[in-house]
Amino acid sequence: MAREVHADPELAVKVQITQELGVDPDDQPSPWTAAVSSFVAFSIGGIIPLITFLLGSSSLLVALSVGAVGLFVAGAITARFTTRSWWLAGLRQLLFGVIAAGATYLVGMAIGVAAH
């Protein structure tokens, strides 16, 4: 099966896109729908951790926890526009957030910035 699929590069790309990204390249939603939904979902996910500080909390752990929930919810919302399950999309977005936060922390440590 793999040999047959990869014998035709166009078919191989279509199969990879369908399997890896969970979307059918022949059945794409409007780019406007994708742009607006991504903006809304990720804006909500980015604002949620700041709410804890606006409410008077100075705990980094609380902000990270609320941010993790926000990332999961934002990922789950975006699953409505793909064929992925909501929990898998939520975990995927959470993983990307953890990687980004970890990289930011490591760069901060490398240049001598301390988190309080």
Considering the entire predicted model, what is its pTM? 0.56
Domain assignments of the chain as residue spans, ordered by start: 2-110
Per-residue pLDDT of the chain (116 residues; tens, 9 = 90+): 778 877 888 888 888 888 877 777 777 678 888 888 888 877 876 777 777 778 888 888 888 888 888 889 888 988 887 788 999 999 999 999 999 989 988 999 899 887 66
Torsion of CA 10, 13, 19, 22, to 10 degrees: -100
Distance of alpha carbon 101 from alpha carbon 85, whole angstroms:
24
Number of neighbours of residue 82 by Cβ within 10 angstroms: 15
Q: What angle do CA 20, 22, 23 make, to 5 degrees?
A: 120
